[in-house]
Amino acid sequence: MPERQSSEVDDMEITLNTGSTVYQGAIIKGGKTFADAEGYMREAAYCNINPEDFDALGRPWFVRITNEYGDSVVLRAKKTNTQQRGEVFVPRGVWANIVVTVYTESTGSPTYKNLKVDIEKCNGPVLDPVTLMRQEYFGGNMHKIWKEKAED
Amino acid sequence: MTCTDVTCPVCGMSCDDIYIELTDDAVLTKNACLMGDAKFQELRSHHRLTKPLVHGEEASWDEALEKTADILVNAKRPFFFMGSETSNEAMAVGIEIAEYLGGLVDGNATICHGPTIMGLQLSGQVGSTLGECKNRADLNIYWGCNPADSHPRHMSRHSQFARGFWTEQGFKGRKVIVVDPRRSPTCEAADLHVQLKPGKDHELIDALMTMLRGEEPHPTVEEVTGVSRETLNKMAEMVKECKFGVIWVGLGIASSRGHHYNAAIAMRFTHECNKFTKFVINANRGHCNVAGFNQVLAWTHGFPFAVDFSRGIPRYQPGEYSCVDALSRGEVDAMIVMCANLGGHLPKKAVERLAKIPMIAIETSPGTNAFMSDIILPGVFDGMECEGTFYRMDNVPIYARSFTKPPFDFTESNEHTLKQLFEIVKKKKAEKDAREAKQ
Ligand code: SF4
């Protein structure tokens, strides 16, 4: 659709809100974050986008969200009417927390809501929770870290 | 085996009407919501952690406890994180160990309604019990919260759809306002959806307060908040006309820019509403006993969360001694986490620190938290496998009975685990002090 392509943007500043959903809650409470990693990905690794923003982004399957420190995460894109223009929603979870910043305004509570981020279309893939945590927190190798810690 | 009136240890509602049928390989629940049921199913799950693990290898219980005590006693700045799916009794022991070792202590409140509590300290809260709301409220305002997802039985048990003593008509006699930038599932039940721009809660409440005082809000109010004058007028009218109104505040207020100031002005707004009618404000607290941590720490040491014992006296400073801040500044050098999923709920920079330091978890399932931990002590489900007390989100203590036993015999409850640990910690600390005195 040519008119849509003309309004496509590479990268857009947007407001990110995170929050709980009952399905994501059920996976976590059921202790299935790793035991049912696929279910966890289905319920927490997506991004709700307003239809107009969705078109402007080029009707993506996947989006990459990047915060002001350059941390970024890839999520499935979902077009929904529940969002206003200029804001997206990602359920709570390991994916959202990659971009949530530790800026707490001296309250102890990070900026889980109302966070300015950049969003862009990308080709995926969405990482499963184990791979994501390995990559982000353990430099790809879990056992190495355990060993180093043990030797300390 | 069947059991009735079981307390659900999942969200802040602590529903106490759950029916359980427990067989050798299955759990049947009635009355529990999707989240509650998922937790009860854990009793018979295949992935439950039942053996202590040290660096991913199976270890004996005593060995795991010894190693844990070594880490805590030798740390300069140990952090004790008391999660919320456990009883007050267990938290009290954890806090005591933290005090003994001069560590820091915090609980889930810090990443949840901590700012709301700070708002309460600034403005004072007109609160009530859930029963009061059920029996009297004819106006429910869900502000920055989405109980349809976060507290699935909230509306049916205590607010919108419940029939109470003076509210026999149920939802027909009640009005609902939802204040949320998102069209959340809760909006389906709303008479008025105030779809403000994200993070403009403070401005919106300020405008409403001005209107309640009979004055004109600033002309830019529509532009700033994204809410039309018509909607604002309607909301102010609904507030003035009701007999008993409740504001349920969620993390939309506490977690966005302005944090505790948003909560403080929401509480002042409630004071203002009381000039016209009876109005209360309650926090929709997300986790089972998250309110309990604030209560226990407040009645033992005078502060609700984020306490440091390093100088021998409790010092309270959110933003400094709170979990996310202390971790992201890199000053914590050992961490013990009881019944909380920190690996999955803290922002990246804080979790990065967790990956670097020795971490101990009292944990039931192999999730994100266990993944970060060096030592795992199997956890017990309070309210199912042992008795305990929880504080419901309206700060009413609920006694939770047990109806089964843990699948191992080295501990009876998380409280028991910590008590065993405390004995070893005392011994090791005395040895360490003696050693240092000699040098
Ligand atoms: S609403 Fe909360 S307390 Fe009640 S059953 Fe569901 S999770 Fe449990």
Q: What φ, ψ does residue B197 adopt, rounded to 5°?
A: -70, 145
Ligand 1 centroid to residue A64 C-alpha, Å: 34
> CB-based contact (8 Å) between A129 and chain B?
yes
Q: What is the pLDDT along chain B (439 residues), one digit of tens a residue?
A: 899 999 999 999 999 999 999 998 899 999 999 999 999 999 998 889 999 999 888 999 999 999 999 999 999 999 999 999 899 999 999 999 999 999 999 999 999 899 999 999 999 999 999 999 999 999 999 999 999 999 999 999 998 888 988 888 888 889 999 999 999 999 988 999 999 998 899 999 999 999 999 999 999 999 999 999 999 999 999 999 999 999 999 998 888 888 999 999 999 999 999 999 999 999 999 888 999 999 999 999 999 999 999 999 999 999 999 999 999 999 999 999 999 889 889 999 999 999 889 999 999 988 888 888 999 999 999 989 999 999 999 999 999 999 999 999 999 999 999 999 999 999 999 999 999 998 8
Residues in B closer than 8 angstroms to A29, CB to CB, are: 10, 35-36, 38-39, 42
> CB-based contact (8 Å) between B349 and chain A?
yes
- By CB neighbour count within 10 A (0-12 exposed, 13-18 middle, 19+ buried), where does A79 fall? middle
> CB-based contact (8 Å) between B400 and chain A?
no
Which A residues 35-94 touch B at CB under 8 Å?
Answer: 35, 71, 81-84, 87, 89, 92-94
> CB-based contact (8 Å) between B44 and chain A?
no
Residue A103's pLDDT is 87
pLDDT higher than threshold 60 for residue A7: no
Nearest chain B residue (CA) to A101: B347
pLDDT higher than threshold 60 for residue A20: yes
Ligand 1 near B20 CB (within 6 A): no
Ligand 1 centroid to residue B350 C-alpha, Å: 29
User: What atom in ligand 1 is closest to the CA of residue B151?
Assistant: 1
Residues, chain B = 439
Matching residue, tokens 């002309």: B219
Cross-chain Cβ contact A106/B320 below 8 Å: yes
Of B149, B197, B356, the CB nearest to A21: B149
Ligand 1 centroid to residue B27 C-alpha, Å: 16
B50, two tokens:
């039942």
Nearest chain B residue (CA) to A88: B182
A121, two tokens:
């279309």
Ligand 1 centroid to residue B432 C-alpha, Å: 46
- By CB neighbour count within 10 A (0-12 exposed, 13-18 middle, 19+ buried), where does B425 fall? buried
Minimal-distance CA residue to ligand 1 atom 2: B11
Confidence of residue A70 (pLDDT cuts 50, 70, 90): very high
Residues in B closer than 8 angstroms to A32, CB to CB, are: 38, 47, 365, 367
> CB-based contact (8 Å) between A33 and chain B?
yes
Mean pLDDT rounded to a whole number for chain A = 86
What is the rounded CA–CA span in Å between residue B100 and residue B351? 26
Q: What stretches of B302-400 show up as alpha helix (H) in DSSP?
A: 323-328, 342-345, 348-356, 368-372
What is the rounded CA–CA span in Å between residue B70 and residue B66? 6
Which of these, B203, B199, B198, B209, lies nearest to B236 by C-alpha position?
B209
The 10 Å CB-count burial string (b at 16+, else e) for A12-39 is bebbbbbbbbbbbbbbbbbbbbbbebeb
Minimal-distance CA residue to ligand 1 atom 8: B36
Percent of chain A with pLDDT over 90: 58
Ligand 1 centroid to residue B39 C-alpha, Å: 10
Whether B54 and B355 have beta carbons less than 8 Å apart is answered as no
Strand residues in B349-418 grouped as ranges (E): 359-363, 375-378, 388-391, 397-400
pTM passes above 0.90: yes
Residue A4's pLDDT is 42
Angle at which helices B229-241 and B201-212 cross, to 10°: 60
Ligand 1 centroid to residue B256 C-alpha, Å: 25
Matching residue, tokens 């707004």: B269
What is the rounded CA–CA span in Å between residue B44 and residue B22? 9
Whether B5 and B16 have beta carbons less than 8 Å apart is answered as yes
Ligand 1 near B13 CB (within 6 A): yes
Cross-chain Cβ contact B255/A35 below 8 Å: no
B164, two tokens:
């109470």
pLDDT higher than threshold 50 for residue A1: no
> What residues have CB less than 8 Å from B31, skipping those under 6 apart?
B15, B17, B18, B19
User: What atom in ligand 1 is closest to the CA of residue B31?
Assistant: 5
ipTM surpasses 0.85: yes
Confidence of residue A2 (pLDDT cuts 50, 70, 90): very low
Cross-chain Cβ contact A35/B115 below 8 Å: no
Pocket test for ligand 1, best of B17, B153, B161, B393 (most atoms within 8 A of CB): B153
